């Protein structure tokens, strides 16, 4: 079962990907994690990717797909995998499709976790983080016992730059321009399934599990 997770930043697709991986005993594959692992291990692909990253450039699609295919060729992916964070654009999806086709494989499901923009801005701007111990909170859903103070180590909680409304709005703009077209791309292939990401985490997962069977 090969699954792609789609959804805007903050839609909760990463959380759902982890839950799918756990229930169906398949690896949760995040491109960021694979890049870091290849760079750390000093593989040929990792060294090549690092030359782009060190210059602040995006890693080319062909190289990203090569690194991804190297990962999914590992024995733990024999029963499938959940891709989180890739593809992000139509060209990436096309390169991935071509590469899988050569292996006689294809994507079985593309799950779109749908959440309106205003909901995401509210959700992310409510996050608070402890920079000392890494604990995270939400002013509405998981508030600390004392306002702006970490329950674990007592340090001051902060609103991270990534979670500021203006930053979130910029990230959403990029998502709508570059990644949202993938919804139609996978719809045409007949593998797209949409779930309501505004529901409770467990309810979203129940809807996904019903699709996957």
pLDDT in tens, 114-142: 999 999 999 999 999 999 999 999 999 89
| Residue 32 scores a pLDDT above 90 | no
How close are the terminal C-alpha atoms of the chain, in Å? 11
Let me know if 164 is a catalytic residue: no
88 is catalytic: yes
Catalytic pick from 13, 71, 123, 128?
13
What is the structure's pLDDT at 100? 92
Per-residue exposure over 197-209, b if at least 16 CB sit within 10 Å of its own CB, e if not: bbeeeeebbebbe
Select which of 2, 66, 71, 88 is catalytic.
88
Average of per-residue pLDDT across 161-185: 93
Is 123 one of the catalytic residues? no
Judged on CB neighbours under 10 Å (0-12, 13-18, 19+), 35 is buried
pLDDT score of 18: 95
Adjacency order of strands within the sheet including 157-158: 136-138, 127-130, 157-158
pTM of this structure:
0.86
Q: Annotated catalytic residue: which of 23, 74, 132, 160?
A: 160
Catalytic member of 122, 164, 171, 193: 171
Q: Where are the alpha helices (DSSP H) in 55-115?
A: 61-72, 90-102
Tens-place pLDDT, residues 97-110: 999 999 899 999 99
Contacts of 75 (CB under 8 A, 6+ apart): none
With a CB cutoff of 8 Å and minimum separation 6, the contacts of 99 are: 65, 69
pLDDT at position 56: 81
CATH superfamily label, 2-27+74-115+176-212: P-loop containing nucleotide triphosphate hydrolases (3.40.50.300)
**Of these residues, 71, 123, 127, 128, which one is catalytic?**
127
């Amino acid at each position: 079962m090969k699954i792609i997770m789609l959804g805007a930043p903050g839609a909760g697709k990463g959380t759902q990907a982890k839950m799918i991986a756990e229930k169906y005993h398949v690896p949760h594959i995040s491109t960021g994690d694979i890049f870091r692992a290849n760079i750390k291990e000093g593989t040929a692909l990792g060294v090549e990717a690092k030359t782009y990253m060190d210059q602040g450039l995006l890693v080319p699609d062909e190289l990203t797909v090569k690194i991804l295919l190297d990962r999914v060729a590992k024995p733990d992916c024999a029963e499938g995998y959940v891709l989180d964070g890739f593809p992000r654009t139509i060209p990436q999806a096309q390169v991935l499709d071509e590469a899988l086709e050569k292996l006689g494989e294809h994507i079985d499901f593309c799950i779109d976790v749908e959440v309106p923009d205003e909901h995401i801005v509210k959700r992310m701007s409510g996050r608070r983080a402890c920079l000392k111990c890494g604990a995270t909170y939400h002013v509405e859903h998981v508030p600390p016992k004392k306002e702006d103070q970490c329950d674990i180590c007592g340090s001051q909680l902060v609103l991270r730059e990534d979670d500021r409304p203006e930053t979130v709005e910029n990230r959403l703009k990029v998502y709508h321009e570059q990644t949202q077209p993938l919804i139609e791309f996978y719809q045409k292939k007949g593998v797209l399934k949409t779930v309501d990401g505004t529901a409770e985490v467990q309810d979203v997962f129940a809807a996904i599990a019903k699709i996957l069977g």
